Structures are given as C-alpha cells and as structure tokens.
Chain A
Amino acid sequence: MPERARRVFGSWDAVVLIALVVVSVAGALAIDGVASPRFWRFVSLEAIPIALIAMPMTLVVITGEIDLSVASVLGLTCSVMGQLWVWGVTSLPLIIVLCVLLGALLGAVNGLFVTGFGLPSLAVTIGTLALYRGLAYVVLGDRAVADYPIGWTTDAVAPIPRTTIPWVILVVAALAVVFGIVLHATPIGRGLYAMGNNAEATRFAGISVRRTKFWLFVATGAMSSLAGVFWTLRFASARADNGLGLELTVVAAVLLGGVSIFGGRGGLVGVLAAVALLGTLRNALQLAYVPANTLTVVTGSLLIASVVGPNAVSLLRARLRRRRAGAAPAASSPR
C-alpha cells in the first residue's frame, strides 16, 4: 500500500468512520426502521446540539484542558431564553444574539479562572457545572416556557427541501468547515497542538498560551448557548433541566473521536464521525427496544474502547515498524 493510503486507512479517524458505516449498514439490515428516512432525521436532530458543542470542545481538549460546564451553560441559556420570552422579547434574532453573548460570558468566567488564576480546568468547570445549573433553576425554577410561536419551532426543525434532514445540519456543516480549517490549516491550529504537548515550549515560541485558551473557553460557551437555543426550539420547551448530563456525551464523542485526553492529539473529522456513530448506535438500539440502561453500558464501553483503541493502534504500528526494521520486538531504541 502506498505511504499516503496507509496513513489514511491506518488512522483512528478511519477506524471511527468505518465503524459508523458498519453500524449503519448492520442496523439497516437487522433492525426494522433504521433504513427509513425518518430514522436519519431523528439521528440528525439529536446529533446537532452535540456536534455544536463537541467542535469547540475538541479544540479545548487538544490544548490539554476540558470544559465540563457545557451542558449547564446550555441549561442556563434555555432558562434565560424562556425568561426573555416571558418578559416580552419577541424578536428571535435578538434572543439568539443575547443567548450567545450570555454563553460567551459564562465561557469567559471559566476561561478567567483557568488562565487568569491558573486553576485546573477540570476543577473549575466541575464547579461551574453545578453553579450554572443552579442559576438555571434560580432563573426559571421548575417552570417550563412552552408558548413560543409555532412558526419558530417548526422552522427550527424544518427539513432541507425534498429530504428529511433538518436544515440546521447545514449550519453545523458550515461551522465544521470553519473549525476544521482553524484547527488543521492555520497557524492558530498549529499553536493549539503545540501547547497541548508542551505549554512551556509553546510560550517560548512566542505564542500566548493563556490568551488562546481563554478565547477557546469563550467560544465553547457561545457554542453551548447556540446548542441551547436549538434545544429549546426543537422541543418547544425552555426548561432549567434541558440537556442534563449532556457534557458526558460530548466528552465521550470527543474522546471516541481520537482526541487525547492529555492534549496534543486528535482531529475534527474523527470527532464528528464519533458524534454520528454514537447517535446512530443509540437510536438504532432504541428502535430494537434495547432498554435505556443497556444503552448507557454500550456508551460507556465505547468510551473505554476509545481510550484503549488509539493507543492499541499506535502500539501495533510501532511494533510493525520495528518488525519491518528487523529488530527484536522487545528491544528499546538506542540512545
């Protein structure tokens, strides 16, 4: 196999993509309804908010940080969005702008604690996970705001003409192109990988690690809020407990997509494929009447596989390379 082909097919991205195809085909053959257009509509609707959050999260994890407050940002956004409607704000564009600004602000708080005070993002965002969800209940209590104009909610989930796929997927695709280019083809992206591997050497190369990470948290907050807006409109219901626990689904997708939890490794293609894979698998199993608890077990197992998998793949490749070089497999390299 030519070098380039081996690199493409030997990558973790390819493993996830192939798994996605296998699950789709096997599901379509074995489970009634998976082959239907409606199935893919539901998978898309479910995947959209996860993908929106997973994209900036990919960048955050590549720099060696994490943001666990995303689902709470989503929830607080839903509460505020409901309260804005109650107060009589009737312009949807204005509501969206205010919500995204709110998300950016919440992300900036995370970023400030992490980069300004040098605290570990894991601890900070576990704190804001509780804090933001709490605020969501403060704002809206256990009420649900559900009297949005019917036009808003149907437009939000309207399909692309002559398909069943919601048009919002095009927004996700456009954002994916933007995030993909930033990560893989700009100097900014090069800096992200560098700081994920070695923050000190990155600083010595004239890259402001703290400023970059701050803005990544801001972007993650804003995107989480955007996901919150979509969530509210899709279910036509603004509630404080919207998206409860979604952060684990997002992190699972990012890790399953091949991003190293230690930073410095991974890419956007794998993550988006993993979002699709998790969504397809869940919905297909649901159609097959697999109980919810089993679904959790499957997701958990996949997460473990995602951590073990890339390591196993690179270990295997290293061993093959050594075998080709004709060395004993046990020998370590000379220094």
Chain B
Amino acid sequence: MAAPLLALSGVSKSFGAVAALSGVRLELHGGEAHALVGENGAGKSTLVKILAGVHAPDEGTITMDGRPLVLSGPADARAAGIVVVYQEPTLFPDLTVAENIFIGRQPQRSLRRIDVAEMRARAVELFGRLGVRLDPDRPARGLSIADQQIVEIAKALSLDARILIMDEPTAALSGVEVERLFNVARSLRDSGTAVLFISHRFDEVFALCQRITVMRDGRWVSTDPVADLTVDELVRRMVGRTVSSLYPKTAARVGEPRLEVSGLTRRGSFEDVSFTVRGGEIVALAGLVGAGRSEVGRAVFGVDRYDAGEVRVDGRRLSRGDPAAAIEAGLALVPEDRRQQGLVMELSVERNATLPRRWSLTRLGLLFGGAERRAAAIWTERLQVKAARLSDPVSTLSGGNQQKVVLAKWLATRPRVLIVDEPTRGIDVGTKAEVHRLLSELASEGVAVLMVSSELPEVLGMADRVLVMHEGRLVADIARDRADEESVMLAATGQGGRR
C-alpha cells in the first residue's frame, strides 16, 4: 500500500493523573474512509481534538506526507487541510448559508467590500460538487442538523480539505439524511480525500469504510480491513470481553393492559394514535425522524398537551398536560434529549436522581441532609453509575453514566409504565447492553415498556411488538415474529399496507 497521507505514532495525552491516550497509532490514506470505533471514554474524542489542533500530544509524532506536523492550534490544523465535522455543528444562525461557508475569508471586491455574487456562486458550485440542493441565501437558523453538517462539509471542501474527520455525525440523523451524508462522504473520498469516521453504529461503519481501527481505554487495539471483521468480533475487541448479547430479551408473561391510548391527536404533530401496552410487554415505536414518535411519548406523559383523545393508565384516565399526575399514576418518561430534558446538568447527581420523587423523601415536609443521598445511592449503585461523589454536578459524568442517572431517577419512582425515548443514543456498547438488560428485567417484573427508537437492530432485538409511525399516523402494528427490517422500513416510509 502507498505511504499514508497522515500518520500518528506513539501518541499519548494525559489530563492530570488520567491518561486519555497512550501510545496510539493511526494511518489515514487518501481516497479511503477509515472508521474509528470504541466505547465512550476509549479516547476517540481526545484523538480527534489532537488532530483538530485543540490539544497538543504529550508524546508521539504526527506526520503528513512523511513530514512531521506540529499542530499548535486549530488554525494550524486547518492550514494543513484537516477539517472536523462535529455531531452538532455550530453555525452562525443569523448569517446565510453562503456567509457561513466563507466566514472570515469572504471573496472581496475593491475597498474590501464583500463580493456577495461571487460568494454565492462559489457556494452553489460547492453544493453542486457535493450533489446536494441547498439555498445559499437562506439563513442558517432553522436548518436541520443534517443540512448544517452539509454546510460544514462544503466549508471543508472550500478549504481544500485533505482530511475530513466526522465525529459521530449520524447520531441525530434519519435514514435518508444518513444516506445523503454518506453519498457526500463517498464522493469526497473518491476524489482523494482521507475520511476518518467515528460512529457507534456498526451498519454505517460497514457501509462506508474500508478499514476499522478499534480503541479501548485510550489504547490502540487493532486496525483491519472491514472484510476481515464481523460485528461480534468488533464488539468483543471494543469491550475487551465477550458480550453475551447486546439484546438480552427474555420472554415475559404478558398481563393486563397498563397503558391505553386512544384517538390521541395533536394538530401538526400526530393524529388519531391508538395503542395499548400490557404489563410485561416491550412495545417499540419506530419510524423515521419527524414521524411524531417522540411527540406521542411526550403527550402521553403530559409535558405536551393534546387536542383530542385520551390516555389511561391501569384503567384510570389521565388529565391532559399534567406530568405530576402522570407520575402519580405510575408513568415515567426517559426523554430523548438527555442534556436538555433528562437532567439539570449543573445540579448534583443526588439532586437529579431524586427530583421527581423528592416529596416522598420528606419527613414533616422537610428534606433532611441525608435522605436524598441515601435514596440516590440505592439506585445509582443498582445501575452501577460511575461517579466520584454523588454531590458532584451530573455534568462531570460521561454520557453513558448520565443516561444511567436519568434511568435511576425514573426507576426510583417505581413506574408501572415506562416510556423510553432513544434510550441508548450516544452511549457505548457495554452500557447499551446493560440498559437493554434493565428494560428486559423491568418488563419481566410486569412493567409496561414503550420504547421509541431510531435504531432498527434495537427495535427488532428488544420489542415484543413494533408500532410504526409515518407522518404523524400509526401505520403498522407488527408482532415480534413477523417484524424484520424490511417490514418496519416499508411501513416507516409509508409504503407498507395499512393494518
């Protein structure tokens, strides 16, 4: 094989006593897409930050075209042709798409006036090369995350990027958007750019990349062509042990209807949604992003109001738009957006973990010092949350552990109906399996579980039944034994037969 475009060898980086990376190596070749996989905390993000010039390595060398490369800041990285597209791009919302692409280096006419026409024409040309349609004159505000990423990639292209790093770009994208992003990445790759792709989704890794590097605990584990690897082998290398199963679904005795939703309508979001979840059942709510799945979960729980229909828990009707009453009735919602909706990031782990049930911890209406800590300790231990101290802000925890705190917070309320919205988004494989085992356990204890998920393997692996939504309507109810990728995707794209 030809000499690599970019090579890292023996790269180490420590933060205080914590070694984030030790002796990592990586080789990127032009015209090749390279996947970087590993659990959360494996050091992927630190590696990306070193390549982006944000952090300087303590040890090791970086070479580009065989010459040593010193990156003492993000500007150096950009000058060397290294561009990073993050999961959530940060565009200037009030500037146009074209202005965002050329920010700080706008084409100029005489007297340093910005040449708007030229800028616009170059933006159109860039989008043409990427094969996407985007209006260069619209403001960035209101662009979908997928479109924002396209703008970032166009920016990369305009900078003549030789190395494109994509850090979990697909976590918030729908299937169609992922496909478009991949087409763009492929066309860049085929024109000689080296692509480094970081993702937790194996199907994407196998669809896009030629080689895979696995990292674990800040160390390099292996680099192989995709053809030589299976998903099981990849998982084993990532966690360093054999994961018995990613989807430990056990059959549970299905009991009485716990959650009954009928004719639920919220104008502009979803219409006439009816379904039942029984105790012991895990029911998945599948569909494309924007189909209205999360909105249904939020309306059922009461954080959003609905215009028509009713929700019953154990036969009792819930009042509209009243989450406190829903919690009282035994409902719990683990929301989609952990940082905005699931947790108060600045508050401590113990305050977060006891927030919904703080009234039940009082004596004479008062919360004495230890009550919250003791209650939080029980559940954080049961879920094996790794936190130095329960009084630390929850923002100091890793993503997987934060998700466990959200789960602990709601499991502590002893729910009879649990709604989980994207329960494993952005968390590593090991924690994923734990969360799945937990859901399975809860179901076998008689809890009714409604799981909103965009990950098909998760839907198919965990659900007793799959409900599929398309454009705000429930279009299919598929039993476990008949559910497969094809039937779910057909229904989700609106091509399946109505039930």
User: Interface on A for B, CB 8 Å cutoff?
Assistant: 181, 185-187, 190-191, 193-194, 197-198, 200-208, 264, 322, 325-327, 331, 333-335
Contacts and interface: CB of A to CB of B under 8 A. Distances in A.
A322 B16 CA distance: 8
A208 B303 CA distance: 10
B344 A186 contact: no
B345 A206 contact: no
Given A194-B351, A206-B356, A334-B18, A201 B344 contact: yes
22 contacts: A185-B368, A187-B358, A187-B359, A187-B362, A190-B351, A190-B367, A193-B347, A197-B344, A197-B345, A198-B340, A204-B303, A204-B333, A205-B355, A206-B324, A206-B326, A206-B356, A207-B324, A322-B16, A327-B15, A334-B15, A334-B18, A335-B46
B400 interface: no
Interface in B296-353: 303, 323-324, 326-327, 333, 335, 340-347, 351
B1 interface: no
A333 B351 CA distance: 23
A322 B15 CA distance: 10
B344 A203 contact: no
Interface string B164-188: 0000000000000000000000000
Contact of A194 (B303, B355, B362, B368): B355
A198 B17 contact: no
A202 B340 CA distance: 10
A320 to B, nearest CB: 13
Nearest to B351: A190
Contacts of A207: 323-324, 355
Given A205-B356, A206-B356, A194 B15 contact: no
B15 A200 contact: no
B227 interface: no
B367 A187 contact: yes
Contact of B16 (A197, A200, A202, A325): A325
A216 B265 CA distance: 34
A50 B55 CA distance: 50
A231 B30 CA distance: 79
Nearest to B18: A334
Nearest to B354: A190
Leading 10 A-B pairs by shortest Cβ distance? A327-B16, A187-B358, A325-B16, A206-B323, A206-B324, A206-B327, A205-B355, A198-B344, A334-B20, A197-B346
A201 B15 contact: no
Contact of B45 (A190, A204, A326, A335): A335
Contacts of A181: 366
A202 B323 CA distance: 11
Contacts of B343: 198, 201
Given A190-B351, A206-B327, A208-B324, A331 B340 contact: no
Contacts of B359: 187
B20 A202 contact: no
Contacts of A197: 344-347
Nearest to A335: B45
Q: How large is the interface on B (under 10, 10 to 19, 20 to 34, 35 or more residues)?
A: 35 or more
A31 B483 CA distance: 86
A334 B20 CA distance: 7
A173 to B, nearest CB: 19
B114 to A, nearest CB: 34
B168 to A, nearest CB: 12
Given A186-B362, A204-B303, A331 B15 contact: yes
Nearest to B365: A186
A187 B368 CA distance: 11
B351 A204 contact: no
Nearest to B324: A206
A115 to B, nearest CB: 14
Contacts of A186: 362, 365-367
A22 to B, nearest CB: 31
A295 to B, nearest CB: 36
A24 B46 CA distance: 52
A197 B355 CA distance: 13
A194 B366 contact: no
A203 B323 contact: yes
Contacts of A208: 324
Contacts of B366: 181, 185-186
Most chain A CB atoms below 10 A, which of B18, B20, B358? B358
A104 B343 CA distance: 33
B367 A204 contact: no
Nearest to A326: B16
A4 B477 CA distance: 57
A333 B345 contact: no
A185 B371 CA distance: 11
Nearest to B367: A185
A194 B344 contact: yes
Contacts of B346: 197-198, 264
A281 B345 CA distance: 38
Nearest to A193: B347
Interface string B9-29: 000000111101000000000
B365 to A, nearest CB: 6
Contacts of B351: 190, 193-194
Given A187-B362, A190-B355, A204-B335, A334 B46 contact: yes
A80 B326 CA distance: 44
B20 to A, nearest CB: 5
A333 B45 CA distance: 12
Given A186-B367, A334-B46, A202 B344 contact: yes
A331 B20 CA distance: 13
B181 to A, nearest CB: 23
Nearest to A211: B324
A193 B347 CA distance: 8
A289 B122 CA distance: 70
Nearest to B56: A331
Contacts of B323: 203-207
Given A185-B367, A186-B367, A264-B346, A201 B340 contact: yes
B380 to A, nearest CB: 17
Contacts of A325: 16-17
Most chain B CB atoms below 10 A, which of A194, A322, A331, A335? A335
A311 to B, nearest CB: 14
Nearest to A204: B341
Contacts of B362: 186-187
B303 to A, nearest CB: 6
Contacts of B303: 203-204
